[in-house]
Amino acid sequence: MRILLLARVHLGTVAVLFVLTLSACLLVAGLPRAMQASYDEALRRALGAAPAVQTDLTVTVESRSPDEDLRERTQFDSRDSLWREIVPPDLRPLLPRTGHMSAKTTLTPITGTSGQSYINLGWLSDAAERVEWVQGRVPGAPATTRYEGETIPVFEVGISEEALPEMGLRVGESKTVGENDYAVVKIVGAFRAKDPGARYWSHNSELLHVTKLQPPGQLDFEKHITTLMSDAGLSALSGAGRNLSYRWVLPLDATAATALGAPDLRAAVSEFDRVVALQSTGSASPYHLETGLPKLLDDFLAGLSTAQTVMYLVLGGLLAVALGVIVLAVHLLADRLDHTLSLTRARGGALRQVAGAAAALTGLAVVPAALAGYALSFLVPGPVLPIVHAGPLLVVLVAVGFAAARTVAAHRTPLHERRDDVAAARPSAKRVTLELLVVVLALAGAYLLRARGLTASTGQDPFLLLVPIALTLAAALITLRCYPYPLRLLVRLTARGRAAVPFLGLTRAARARSASVLPVLILLPALGVSVFAAVVSDGIASTQRLASWQRAGAPIKVTSEIEIPAAAIDQVRALAGVRRVVLAQTGRVQVGYGAERAEAIAVDVARWRELLGGAPVGLPALSDGALVSPELRGRGTFEIGWQSRLKLATRGVIASVPGFYGKGKFLVVPIGVQVRPAVNTLLIDGDASLTGALERLVPSATVVSQERILHDIQDDPLTSTVRWTLVVVTAALAAYALIAVILSLVIGAADRARALSFLRTLGLSDRQAQRLTVLEILPMILVTALAGLGLGLGLPAALGPGVDLSSYAGDLPVGDYALDPFLPSALAAGLAAVAVLGAYAHIAIGRRRSLGAVLRVGDLT
C-alpha cells in the first residue's frame, strides 16, 4: 500500500496529528528540564543565602592537655590534608581547596570583673588576608611575666576597631585574664575586616563584634570579645588551663550542588561525620563534625518533595490529556482511512497489511514530530532527565499502537458493518462491578490520605500520586455512566412537545456513539487539572500576600535599635509620597517583679488599624490596657517595668502582632501609657520606592516594605517554578480541551451529516439543523465541564495534608483555596462557544453538499 499517497490524500489530518505530537513532546520533554533547572537554582540559592557556619563543614576538637596542643601551623596543615583525603566522593566536587583553620579560647574572663567581661584568645590561619591594621602594629611573639609569684604568658593581640570603645579598652593596654590559670593579654593593635560582608566571617564573627549575653535571672549583660594573635602565639597557647578548641573549616561551593544529588549529599555528610570520629581513636578529645548542612538539605528536600508532587500531578494530567487528544486525532485519521482499508480487506488484503498501513501512516506523522519536539526541548536549559527521553517515545508508541489496535478491531472481518446509533449496549456485570470498585477505592483513598497524611517527611508518597489519578478516573466513569440519564428525562419531556428538533437533538446526544463520549475522558481531566492548578496558584498567591503583610505590618516599616530623633521623624513626614506615619516604641519589658521578660510594642492601635486599611492582617481595637499573647493570658491586671512601672488590664488575646511578634511572650499597649515615648519604630503608609530615601533620613534604622517582602517570597526559584508551571499547564490544558471538542465534532461529522441529510428530505431547515447539532453536542460538554470543575475544586480538599505548600507562601499554610470564578467560566464558555461555532460551521459546509453525495442508493426506501 502506498503510504505517501495516503499521506497526501489525508494531508490535513496528518498535519493536525503532526502539530499535536510536536507540542506534546516539547511539553513533556521541555517542562521537566526547566523544572529541574529551577530546583537546582533553588538549592544553590538556599545554600548561598544561609550563613557559612551552617553550610560549611567544620571539624572541631578540644585540647584538654599539653599532649593534645597544636603548637605549630604545620600540625594544622597535616590534619587539614587528612580531612580532605577522607571526604566522601559525593562531597569532593563541592569542596574547593580554599579553607581556613583556627584556634580559639572561650569563657576567658578579665580578672576582677566578676565574670562580666571576657577577652578570649584567637588565631586564624589566614588573618593576613582577611584583616587590615588601622592602629598600632601586628601582634608578635609571646613573652612571660611574673604574677602572684608565678610565671605567666603574655600574649600580644589585636582587637577589632569596633570593640575598643564598647569593651572600654585601648591600644597599648594590658589585661590579666583567667581565674586560676592566669595570662596577660597585651593589646598592641586594632584591625578591621577587609570585607566584613564576606561569608568567611560567619565562622569568626566573635572577632569583629562584641557578643552580649544575659545570664538567666540577671539584669546585666556579659560582654565577650575574641582577640587575634600571631602564629608564634600558638607556642604558648595550651588547653591545659583554658577552654581551647581547634577548627578546620572546609567551605562548601553551593554553585556545584544539584537537586538530584541532594539526597546523596545528605548521606555523604553523615558518612564524613562517621569517618572523622574514627580519627579520634586513642585520643581523649574526640574529633567531630559541626555543620548545619543536613538540616538545610532536609528542609530543601521537604519543600522539593511538595513541589515535585504538585508538578507530577499537573504534568501527569497534561501528559494524559495530550495522549488523549493525540488518540482522538489518530481516531480521526483511522475514520478517514476506513473506506480504503475496507476495500483492501474486501479484495483479499491481510489484516496485518491493513493494520501495518494504518500504523505506518500514523508513524509518518508522529515520528518526525516527536523527534522535532525532542530536539526543541534541548533549547530549554536544565539537566536531561529520563522523562526527556521516555516521554516522546511514549507518545509515539501510544499513537502508533492505538492506530494498529483500532484498525485490527475495526477490520477483523471484511465488510463487517456495525450500527451502534440505535441503542447503547448494556454493560456487563463484571464491568459494572469493576467500575464501582474503582469509585469506592478512589473515595476510600481520599479519606485515608486526609486521615493519615504522608508516610514520610521527604520523598514521594505513592499513595499521594495514586489518589488523584483514582479520583479522576472515578469522576470520568461516573460522568460517562450518569450523563445519559438526565438527557433521557429531558427526551421524555420534549417528546410531549410539538417541536421535533429538541427531541431529536437530545435523543442523539443520549444515544451517542462511543467515539462521541470519548472526549469526556479528555475534557474531564483537562478541566479538572486546569481548575486544580488555578486553585493552587490562587491559594499560593493569596497566602504569599498574607505572609508579606504579617512580616511587614505596614506598607513600610522603619525599625531602629536606638531612639529616632524627632527632627528625623519630621523629615519623614514631609517626604513626598508619605501619606501617614504612625509612631511606635518596641522593647523588652519586665513582667511583674521577677526575671520574666516579654516583648512589647507601644503604639496608637486605632491609627495603625487605619493604616492597614484593606490589608489581610489587623489587630483588635485597643484604647487602654493591653493585648497579650496566649502565653500571657489569664493574668487579669498585671504590672510591667518599662521606663516606669505600669499596671495594665488584659483587654484581649492575640496570636501575633503583624510585622513584629508571632510566638513567645509579647503584648501591645497604647503609646500614651509612656510618659515620654522613645520612638524607635515608624509605620508608614507610602510608596515602596521611598525605602532608599528613608534609609538616608534614618541611617540607624532598618527599612522594609510589604511590596519588597512579597517580591522576595515570589522570587524564590521553587515558588516561581511552581506558579509558572501551573500557568503553562493551565493554558496547555485549556488548548487541548478546545482541540478535543473540535476533533470530536470532526469525528462525528460524517454520521451527523448523514442523519441531517435524512431529515432534510423530510423538510428540516438549515436553522433547525443548526439547533439540532448544538443540542446534540452541548450536553456532553456542559456536563463534562461541571464534572471537571467539581473535580478541580475537590482535589485540594481531597489531598488535604498531603500537599504542604507553605514553603512557597512565606512559611504560612495554604488552606484558603478560594477560586476566582473567571477561569472555570472562561473555560466552559470557550468550550461551549467552540461547540456552537463548530455546529454552525458543520451546517455551512453540509449546505453545499447534495443529498446524493451523502445518501447511498436504497437509503430512502
Lowest mean pLDDT among 82-96, 364-378, 571-585, 811-825: 811-825
Neighbours of 799 (CB within 10 A): 21
Cα–Cα distance between 371 and 364 in angstroms, integer?
12
Q: Looking at the whole model, is its pTM more than 0.85?
A: no
Max mean pLDDT range (474-488, 502-516, 535-549, 792-806): 535-549
Whether 513 shows a pLDDT value over 60: the answer reads no
8 Å CB contact between 603 and 616: no
604 vs 527, more confident: 604
Q: pLDDT per residue over 784-809, tens digit each?
A: 878 888 888 777 777 765 666 776 77
8 vs 821, more confident: 8
8 Å CB contact between 815 and 776: no
Cα–Cα distance between 293 and 295 in angstroms, integer?
5
Q: Sort residue 447 into left (φ over 0), alpha (ψ -120 to 50) or beta.
A: alpha
Q: pLDDT per residue over 104-141, tens digit each?
A: 999 899 998 888 899 999 999 999 999 999 999 999 99
Query: What pLDDT, on the 0 to 100 scale, is given for residue 1?
Result: 59
Q: Find the distance separating the first CA and the last CA of the chain, reported in whole Å.
A: 37
- Mean pLDDT of all residues in 637-646: 88
Q: pLDDT per residue over 243-264, tens digit each?
A: 899 999 999 998 889 988 899 9
Q: Beta strand 117-120 with 122-124: parallel, antiparallel or unpaired?
A: unpaired
Q: pLDDT per residue over 418-472, tens digit each?
A: 554 444 556 678 878 888 888 888 888 777 766 665 554 444 556 666 777 788 8
Query: What pLDDT, on the 0 to 100 scale, is given for residue 418?
Result: 54
Whether 229 shows a pLDDT value over 90: the answer reads yes
Query: What pLDDT, on the 0 to 100 scale, is given for residue 347?
Result: 79
**Neighbouring C-alpha atoms within 13 Å toward the C-beta of 493:** 7
DSSP at 240:
S
- Residue 589 β-bridge partners: 598
749 vs 32, more confident: 32
Q: Which of 132, 127, 128, 108 is closest to 118 using CA atoms?
A: 108
Angle of CA points 800, 801, 802, to nearest 5°: 90
Q: pLDDT per residue over 295-306, tens digit each?
A: 999 888 877 777
Neighbours of 79 (CB within 10 A): 18
Distances (CA, A) of 769 to 484, 681, 749: 22, 73, 13
- Mean pLDDT of all residues in 324-336: 88
> Helix H segments across 233-292?
262-278
Residues sharing a CB contact under 8 Å with residue 769, sequence separation 6 or more, in sequence order:
756, 759, 760, 843, 846
What percent of the chain lies above the pLDDT cut of 90?
34
Model confidence at 328, pLDDT cuts 50, 70, 90, reads: confident
Query: What pLDDT, on the 0 to 100 scale, is given for residue 465?
Result: 62
Lowest mean pLDDT among 331-335, 343-347, 651-655, 852-856: 852-856
572: buried, middle or exposed (CB in 10 Å: 19+, 13-18, 0-12)?
buried
8 Å CB contact between 100 and 200: yes
Domain residue ranges in the chain: 57-290, 438-542+714-861, 562-699
155 vs 712, more confident: 155
Task: State the average pLDDT for the chain.
Answer: 83
Whether 857 shows a pLDDT value over 50: the answer reads no
- Mean pLDDT of all residues in 823-850: 66
Q: pLDDT per residue over 364-394, tens digit each?
A: 999 999 999 999 999 988 888 888 899 899 9
